[in-house]
Structure 1
Amino acid sequence: MQVCAAPPFAASHALSCDARWRPHDLLRLHRLSQFDGEPAWVRASFARAPYAVVRRALAADGFVAIGLRGTERSQRYGTWVHRDDIEIAVPPEALARRSPLAERNALPAFAALAALQRDTAGALAGFVWGPTGSVGFELATQTPTVTFSSDLDLLIRVPEELSRHMAIQLLDYLQATAQPASIRVDAQLETPAGGVALAEWAANKPRAMVRHARGPQLVTDPWAHAHDNA
């Protein structure tokens, strides 16, 4: 279960997101402030790998909403970091060509990623993309995080409209790539309106659920209007 710290600023000051750090970027932090009600596992997890992922939430000036992960699937914690405590940011696309430690290559999620990396003429070739979730975290930190049952989560940047037909082709391609590894590839499209699940956009529903810093929204066209601070 994910829990979230109370913001260290008044709710009325949560008006925007700093565009320097985008959702799914991994941040290496100098330090992590402690908040009341913090789960017991957080300090050990941060000592093990001082990284957090940028999450979608409005923040006051100078703050970034982040998420921490523990060693268990249920260990997720949403909190806040001051921008002065951020050392570096690693976007998903910076991890698209990275490889895990040699002894980790055989894990299904890494095998599926390697198949995508080898296919330089495949359906992903025309996109800026990269791994997120446990795969992205391990590639960025070199800390064992992926398990035998881990899915491969991807972020695909789509600043221009993606047709439903192309979305279906892309979804079929990713599913075919994942099948030999017996895992699921969960891809999210990063659009001007926010994050949209590739599978949902390919399903040709009248409206798609968009994940935005202001909260989930149902839209007919994620490219119709560019939202600031998505």
Structure 2
Amino acid sequence: MQVCAVPPFAADSAHGCDPRWQPHDLLRLRRLAPLDGEPEWVREAFARAPFAVVRRAPAAAGFVAVGVRGNGRAQRYGTWVEAADVLEAIAPEDFAASLPALERRALPAFALLAALRDDMSSLRRYAWGPTGSAAFELATRMPAVTMASDLDLLVRMPKRLPQESAAQILTELQTRAQKAGMRVDVQLETPAGGIALAEWAAGKPRVMARCAQGPQLIADPWAAMPGRV
């Protein structure tokens, strides 16, 4: 997030994340309580699409750390919402059968997503789905994907992924993305948090894991204690 609110709770009361929601889930909200210092665009953006994405940050009991999306990359706002205001949660893999509006399906990101759904043998054994602008548009029906948009994907990986398998998945995805003239960015959701598929496939001795406590370099994302995401 480029801008973040001051937490609406005491810092020492933020002990973790509510297990009902995972990073990258899109939440449909009853309301977004205003906080001091929020950017002017936040109210208008939330009125158009009352959704926010779960982000990796500690929260006190009864709160969820989220990000609000506006127009363009410059409009991103990190805040917290009350759990009681969550009406619906949509995980990335819940978009498996979702389609954009007919006139939007030729956009490169949506075309590649459709191709991966139809024929992506190396991903079929895993739970996966889109995040970022593609997921936001599929959930809200508000235009968010552009001709230049990358396709962001999340793959659930609770068990160890051999680096050889990671390299195979990465090669297949990159080949398809290059043919489509775009980039694909894949994050593996592991017990330690989110790691980049490209980093794990490269065989690095340590990879960057993104968790609620902040980014950490670790050697084995599957050796970490659960509950750190």
In 1, the alpha carbon distance for the partners of 2:163 and 2:16 equals 31
- Residue equivalent to 1:126: 125
Measured against aligned partners, the alpha-carbon deviations of 1:55-80 in whole angstroms (never above 9, x if no partner) come to 00010000000001111121100001
Question: Match for 1:19: what amino acid?
Answer: P
In 2, the alpha carbon distance for the partners of 1:7 and 1:73 equals 23
Shift of 1:49: 0.5
Shift of 1:24: 0.3
TM-score, normalization: structure 2?
0.98
In 2, the alpha carbon distance for the partners of 1:24 and 1:228 equals 16
- Residue equivalent to 2:103: 103
Q: Which runs of 5+ in 1 are unaligned?
A: none
Give the conservation status (yes or no) of the 8 Å contact 1:18–1:229. no
In 2, the alpha carbon distance for the partners of 1:111 and 1:226 equals 38
Give the conservation status (yes or no) of the 8 Å contact 1:68–1:77. yes
Give the conservation status (yes or no) of the 8 Å contact 2:191–2:228. no
Shift of 1:98: 1.1
Measured against aligned partners, the alpha-carbon deviations of 1:158-211 in whole angstroms (never above 9, x if no partner) come to 000001101100100111121222111100000011000001111111101000
In 2, the alpha carbon distance for the partners of 1:126 and 1:97 equals 16
SS in structure 1 opposite 2:113?
helix
SS in structure 1 opposite 2:176?
helix
Shift of 1:96: 2.2
Question: Match for 2:179: what amino acid?
Answer: P
SS in structure 2 opposite 1:168?
helix
In 1, the alpha carbon distance for the partners of 2:97 and 2:189 equals 19
Match status 1:5 vs 2:5: yes
1:44-193 alignment runs, 5 A limit: 44-119=44-119, 122-193=121-192
In 1, the alpha carbon distance for the partners of 2:220 and 2:93 equals 24
Give the conservation status (yes or no) of the 8 Å contact 2:17–2:64. yes
In 2, the alpha carbon distance for the partners of 1:100 and 1:195 equals 26
In 2, the alpha carbon distance for the partners of 1:135 and 1:214 equals 27
Q: Which runs of 5+ in 2 are unaligned?
A: none
Identity %: 62
Shift of 1:228: 1.2
1:30-41 alignment runs, 5 A limit: 30-41=30-41
Instruction: Give the number of aligned pairs.
Output: 229
Shift of 1:118: 1.0
TM-score, normalization: structure 1?
0.97
SS in structure 2 opposite 1:67?
strand
- Residue equivalent to 2:21: 21
Shift of 1:224: 0.9
Shift of 1:143: 0.9
Measured against aligned partners, the alpha-carbon deviations of 1:120-141 in whole angstroms (never above 9, x if no partner) come to 5x11111100000000110111
SS in structure 2 opposite 1:227?
coil
